[in-house]
Amino acid sequence: MESDTEPSTPVSTLEATPETEYENRIANLEAAPTQSTTEYFSWQQLADISERLTGLGEQYGALTTVCTGDYVALGTERGSVVVTDYLGRVKMALGTAASAAYGAVSALAFSADHMVLVAGYAQGFVVVWDWAKGTTAAVSRPRQASDSPDAAGHPAGTAITCVGFIGASRHRYISGSGGGLVLYHHIVRRLLTTMSTQPLASDGGVLFEAAALARGTHACVTDDLGLVAILTDSSITIVKTRHGVEQQYRAGFQTAEGTRRRTVARRPYAGSVAWQSAQRIERPATTPAESDAMLPKLAYSWGAHIHILAVHLDYNVSGNGTALGSAAPRVQFERETEWTAIEDVVFCR
């Protein structure tokens, strides 16, 4: 782990240069009468950001990845990370002389408070940015062929495909690379700042995605586990990372049951995974207190098949039918829903 305090220089807002045709199209959309709809979501064109993409590409390189939170982070092919607001105004451009050699930005994720950003690069580097200050908090370098066998890091030249912070932490995060390796990183701040890195479960298959459970609006026992879901072309694995890495759930690839579509059990070429964190639900005062929250769920797709895992808390951890008072409940994962689409599902959230 390295600390790098070389600051990035804030960049002033770029002037928008939209073409006349684009301006007319936006004007027509804004002037269109509002229509009633039964859809469960609404959408809005981010015209201000879209107008500035051309200018950003010319200055920092073509866009390669994006993530959103309170702000928008844009990764580029030249290794720069540009943070903007939703009006397209540039708040910070992140990059140092050293990071120019990291390759294109291939993955991005904000922390829960949106003040720290983790970025993965095409050459195997993983960098934690304190983006408001324009400095790096930690740099995980790729493992070289000359390194010892137990050296931590992604293989050099292997692009990072997914990154994410665990829970509400700024110091615990994961990274996954195209070679199928998923690493858990923990920045330890004591007298000296150090970082521990260790591999999580991997079966050597094609890594589709790894995702960490974020903290929700309701306190749940899962908040203390640091759960991470790892999806490959052959298995779904859930591990806890707090107080030692330990597998919590694992299942092999299978098609949804009871369906007449796409029933051939073949290795999927696409997959995605997403957590729903614990949420507080507003209910009438007469409703029992234990129903005031929705426990976490995990959605993942294998090819055309979508699966939902629900978290259940088993308070009978003694195994003999009696509760153990203040003992923490056992976290269990149960298959709740399965569904098969007509086409392969490449992304779910």
271 CA to centre of own chain = 14
Half-sphere exposure of 121 (CA within 13 A, CB side): 27
- The predicted pLDDT at position 116 comes to 93
Predicted confidence at residue 14, as pLDDT, reads: 42
**Count of H-run helices and E-run strands, the chain:** 2, 23
Is residue 167 exposed (0-12), middle (13-18) or buried (19+ Cβ within 10 Å)? buried
8-state DSSP, 33: P
Longest CA–CA span in the chain (Å) reads 74
The reported pLDDT for the residue numbered 28 is: 62
pLDDT values of the chain reduced to their tens digit, one per residue, 349 residues: 554 555 554 443 444 444 555 556 556 655 655 555 455 555 666 666 667 777 777 888 888 999 988 899 999 999 999 998 887 788 999 987 778 889 999 999 999 889 999 999 999 999 999 998 999 888 999 988 888 777 778 888 999 999 999 988 888 999 998 778 899 998 876 544 455 676 675 556 788 888 999 888 888 888 888 899 999 888 899 999 888 888 899 988 765 444 433 434 456 678 899 999 888 876 655 544 445 678 899 999 988 889 999 998 877 655 554 445 556 678 889 999 888 888 888 888 8
- In this prediction, residue 43 carries a pLDDT of 61
Alpha carbon distance 76, 84 (integer Å): 14
Close Cβ partners of 289 (under 8 Å, ≥ 6 residues apart) = none
What is the amino acid identity at position 70?
Answer: D
3-state secondary structure of 58: helix
The whole-angstrom separation of Cα 130 and Cα 40 is 36
Distance between CA 346 and CA 229 in Å, rounded?
A: 17
Give me the pLDDT at residue 258, please: 42
Question: How far apart are alpha carbons 126 and 146 in whole angstroms?
Answer: 20
Please tell me the distance from the alpha carbon of residue 213 to that of residue 165, in angstroms, as a whole number: 9
The whole-model pTM stands at 0.75
Instruction: Determine the pLDDT at residue 129.
Output: 94
